[in-house]
Amino acid sequence: MSGDVCIVGIGIHRFGRTDGLSGVDQGVFALREAMADAGVEWPQIQFAYGSSDAAGNPDTMVDRLGLTGVQFINVRNGCAAGGSALFSAQMAIKSGEFDLGVAVGFDKHPRGAFNALPAEYNLPDWYGEVGQMVTTQFFAAKIMRYMSLFGISQKTLGLVSEKAFRNAVHAPHAWRRQPVSLEEILEAPLVSDPYTKYMFCSPAEGGVALILASEKKARELGKPLIRLKAATMRTRPPASFEVFAPSVDVVADDTAPRGTASRIASADAYRLAGIGPGDIDVAQLQDTEVGAELMHMAENGFCADGEQEQWLAEGRTDINGALPVNTDGGCLACGEPIGASGLRQVYENVVQLRGNGGGRQVPNAPKTAYSHVYGAPGVSAVTILER
Domain ranges of the chain: 5-109
Average pLDDT, the chain: 94
As a whole number, mean pLDDT of residues 178-196 equals: 97
Residue by residue, DSSP assigns 75-142 as E-BTBTHHHHHHHHHHHHHHTTS-SEEEEEEEEEPPSSS----GGGGT--HHHHHTTTT-HHHHHHHH
Sequence letter at residue 132: Q
| 134-151 average pLDDT score | 92
Q: CA separation (Å) from 299 to 50, 124, 346?
A: 28, 29, 19
Task: Give per-residue pLDDT as tens, 350-366.
Answer: 999 999 999 999 999 99
Q: Are β-strands 227-235 and 190-192 bridged in parallel, bridged antiparallel, or unpaired? A: unpaired
Distances from the Cα of 300 to the Cα of 141, 293, 325, 353, angstroms: 21, 10, 12, 20
Residue 1, pLDDT above cutoff 60: no
Using one digit for the tens of pLDDT, what is the confidence trace for 202-254? 989 999 999 999 999 999 999 889 999 999 999 999 989 888 887 888 988 88
pLDDT digits (tens, 9 = 90+) for 35-76: 999 999 999 999 999 999 888 899 999 999 999 999 999 998
For the chain, percent of residues with pLDDT exceeding 70? 99
Positive/negative CA dihedral, 293, 89, 54, 167: positive
Least confident of 125-129, 184-188, 215-219: 125-129
At the second CATH level, the architecture of 5-109 is 3-Layer(aba) Sandwich (3.40)
CA torsion sign for 275, 279, 285, 290 is positive
Q: Is 323 helix (H, G, I), strand (E, B) or coil?
A: coil
Burial class (CB in 10 A: 0-12, 13-18, 19+), 110: exposed
Contact 73, 129 (CB under 8 A): no
User: For the CA atoms of 315, 319, 323, 326, what is the dihedral angle to 10 degrees?
Assistant: 100
The rounded distance, in Å, linking the Cα atoms of 113 and 136 is 8
Please report the pLDDT score of residue 111 as a whole number: 83
Under DSSP, the state recorded for 169 is T
Q: How far is CA 155 from CA 186, 189, 248, 321, 384, in A?
A: 7, 15, 26, 19, 31
* Per-residue pLDDT at 80 exceeds 90: no
* Confidence (pTM): 0.96
Per the model's pLDDT, the better-predicted residue between 242 and 161 turns out to be 161
Within 8 A by CB and 6+ apart from 245, the residues are 377, 378
Mean pLDDT of 291-319: 98
Q: Which residues contact 291 (CB under 8 A, 6 or more apart)?
A: 139, 142, 143, 146, 147, 157, 195, 199
Q: What is the pairing mode between strands 379-386 and 227-235?
A: antiparallel
> What's the sign of the alpha-carbon dihedral 151, 135, 12, 232?
positive
Alpha carbon of 7 to those of 3, 271, 345: distances in Å?
A: 13, 20, 13
